[in-house]
Amino acid sequence: MAGHVLVDRDRCTGCGTCVSVCVYNALNISEGISNVDEEKCLGCGACV
């Protein structure tokens, strides 16, 4: 396991690009900010 993605809440615009590319469905947008489900995230980096 590579780890987990951390969202920089000051820089996240809530655009949803990360959500659309995550093949593990580990990301969602809540209150305009991306959130990571650490149980699903494998840290592949596709979203960054």
Q: Distance between CA atoms of 42 and 11, rounded to whole angstroms?
A: 22
pTM for the predicted model, two decimal places: 0.83
pLDDT on residue 4 = 85
- Distance in angstroms (rounded) separating the CA atoms of residues 41 and 45: 9
Q: What local confidence, expressed as pLDDT, does residue 43 receive?
A: 93
- What CA–CA distance (Å, rounded) separates 44 from 23? 10
Give the model's pLDDT for residue 30: 96
Within 1-48, strands assigned E span: 27-30, 33-36
pLDDT, tens digit (0-9, with 9 covering 90-100), for 2-48: 688 899 999 999 999 999 999 999 999 999 999 999 999 999 999 99
In this structure, is the dihedral angle defined by the CA atoms of residues 14, 31, 38 and 20, taken in order, positive or negative?
negative
Q: Which domains does the chain have, with CATH numbers?
A: 1-42 (3.30.70.20)
